Amino acid sequence: MRRRARSSPSERYKWTALSNTTLGVFIVLINQSIVIISLPSIFRGIHLDPLQPANIGYLLWLLMGFLVVTAVLVVTFGRIGDMFGRVRMYNAGFLVFTIASIGLSVVPSTGSAGALELIFGRIVQGIGGALLMANSTAILTDAFPQEERGMALGINMVAGIAGSFIGLVVGGLVSEIDWRLVFLVSVPVGVFGTVWAYLKLEDVGERVKARTDWWGNATLAVGLVAILVGITYGIQPYGGHTMGWTNPVVMAEIIGGVGLLLLFAWIETRVPEPMCDLGLFRIRAFSNAGAANLLSAVGRGGLQFILIIWLQGIWLPLHGYSFERTPLWAGIYMVPLSVGFLLSGPVAGFLSDRFGNRPFSVGGMVLASSSFALLMLLPTDFGYVGFAALLFVNGIGNGLFAAPNTTSIMNSVPAAQRGSASGVRATFMNTGFVLSIGLFFSLMIAGLAARLPAAMHAGLVAQGVPAADASRAAGVPPVGSLFAAFLGNNPMRTLLGPHVLGALPASRASYITGKSFFPSLISGPFHFGLVIAFSTSAVMCAVAALASWRAGSGREPQRRRAEPAIDELAAAETEAWVGA
């Protein structure tokens, strides 16, 4: 394997690389979350009812398409960046992302055709996002010296993950004006970033001359897609069951996907120039920090979904907000989460260069785990001050963790494999976000299925709905009610229909379809599911803290890898593992 040495980056260039890659990661992660909170406005804009059973697939793929593509492709694009130039791949990502954003903002169709066009646009946008995320961290690691890398990666990661929180606020604001602005808001940033990247960024890292590992690329991509698609359809009803985990197609997708990933691992130990050097996982800092990254991403993604359901579907309507305005106010009420993250993230990145990564990555996950445990103690109709304080603490915990964790991963690998390492890191983060959807929706549906039917039946009968009609409405799989809460909608009009509502006194029909009946009805069963979900998040963050401890301080590897000869030795050792 031959490597071509590159010129050392200038003092000025490293700040150019930091600012541009931070902009790229920021806009990608904003687009991960901006659609989540804007879905009600988007579906109203294309005249499609997301609560109709036939349309739930559109809703899921509009939400998941972008995430699945970025999760699947980042490792491949990171390796290609190692081979053909990280800056070249990164620049192409900015261009693809910007073109896709323009296309999404001018989708001409409505109904199911419009939904399919949006899903296709989101997939293309995800390809651009994968190119950006896979190579941005490696570009930064190339540009900054050892002793400043934590600070640089800290700023980059804080801006990126903060983008996933800020996207919730931006989505709530712009969707109030026009749903097309949800996608159009990225276009000016994309155009500016694309031109800037093509003019100013340079390849200053080592480039690996290697052949493309086609079999490795194919088995990884198809295996991940199969698993993530199986998870997507596993949370939909099947054959009278509340979820689809017993669906033979779902089981075949997940089992087949796992089999392909095992085949991928076998291939990577046999080919002379693997796409993903599995020898990297023998490095304790890399494997443990990567596991912590995956677990924290699952917990963070689950928190976002639960908060949106909690605020849009229950708390805001109970406090007098109309269902049409809940996306905006849900984003506003979650601001303490972003503030905590923005305050702690840069500080952790700076201090980890001086004191090592372990205190911050471990402490951050312990703090996040504690906040999840305390959130379980809140009633469904909580007081906002305590709720905001816990969100702030959770944001601080995730901010303390983000930059030191990334620095641990990137400092632990040989210089020539930083693109692959960056891709693996991004895969862990994006896959964790997708897994959080399947995991936490499943946990919430399980919790609702245990208590919601009885609560709904009793509540409807108490309002004069005939017992047969109440049983029919209560027998609908709870995924519909969960999606209704997620979208800030009241599903009672759809569940009961005009015939049943028309037979009731006008005052009772108005109350059933108003602001308080559905949120009050779902609040008890929802809290039961909420406790299950938050306890899972707390355990995940605690395990992430343990993995971060095992990853080490991050200071010794930095000093060793500051010496080129040792760096070459580490790379040669990794190649020897693959050969073995």
Kindly tell me if the per-residue pLDDT of 555 is higher than 60. no
Positive/negative CA dihedral, 29, 31, 36, 37: positive
**pLDDT recorded at residue 209:** 62
Q: Helices 214-234 and 418-462, interaxial angle, to 10°? A: 10
Query: What's the start-to-end Cα distance of the chain, in Å?
Result: 16
Which helix (H) or strand (E) is 297 found in, with range? helix 284-310
- Mean pLDDT value across residues 254-267: 88
Q: Which residue has the tokens 């990853």?
A: 551
**Amino acid at position 391, single letter:** L
**pLDDT recorded at residue 211:** 65
Positive/negative CA dihedral, 257, 262, 266, 269: positive
pLDDT above 70 coverage of the chain, percent: 86
Specify the range with the lowest mean pLDDT, choosing from 276-280, 285-289, 364-368, 554-558. 554-558
For the chain, the farthest-separated pair of C-alpha atoms sits apart, in whole angstroms, at 83
pLDDT above 90 coverage of the chain, percent: 10
In this structure, are residues 14 and 144 in contact, taking their beta carbons and an 8 Å threshold? Answer: yes
pLDDT tens digits along 123-156: 999 899 888 887 887 788 777 776 676 667 767 7
**pLDDT recorded at residue 579:** 35
Give the burial string for 348-363 (b: 16+ CB within 10 Å, else e). bbbbbbeebbbbbbbb
In this structure, are residues 540 and 298 in contact, taking their beta carbons and an 8 Å threshold? Answer: yes
- 544 or 211: which leads in pLDDT: 544
pLDDT tens digits along 83-116: 777 888 888 888 999 999 999 999 888 888 888 9
**pLDDT recorded at residue 208:** 58
Kindly tell me if the per-residue pLDDT of 407 is higher than 70. yes
- Which whole-number Å values give the CA distances from 327 to 65, 140, 174, 198, in the listed order? 21, 35, 10, 37
Identify the three-state secondary structure at position 557: helix
- Mean pLDDT value across residues 336-340: 86
CA distance 332 to 62: 23
- Tokens coding 359: 């205190």
**pLDDT recorded at residue 266:** 87
- 492 or 276: which leads in pLDDT: 492
Q: Give start and end residues of each alpha helix (H) in 175-283.
A: 181-184, 187-200, 214-234, 248-268
Question: How crowded is residue 262: how many other Cβ atoms within 10 Å of its Cβ?
Answer: 12
**pLDDT recorded at residue 103:** 92
CA distance 50 to 58: 8
- Mean pLDDT value across residues 77-82: 73
Q: What is the DSSP string of 12-35?
A: HHHHHHHHHHHHHHHHHHHHHHHH
| Predicted TM-score of the model (pTM) | 0.73
Which helix (H) or strand (E) is 549 found in, with range? helix 517-551
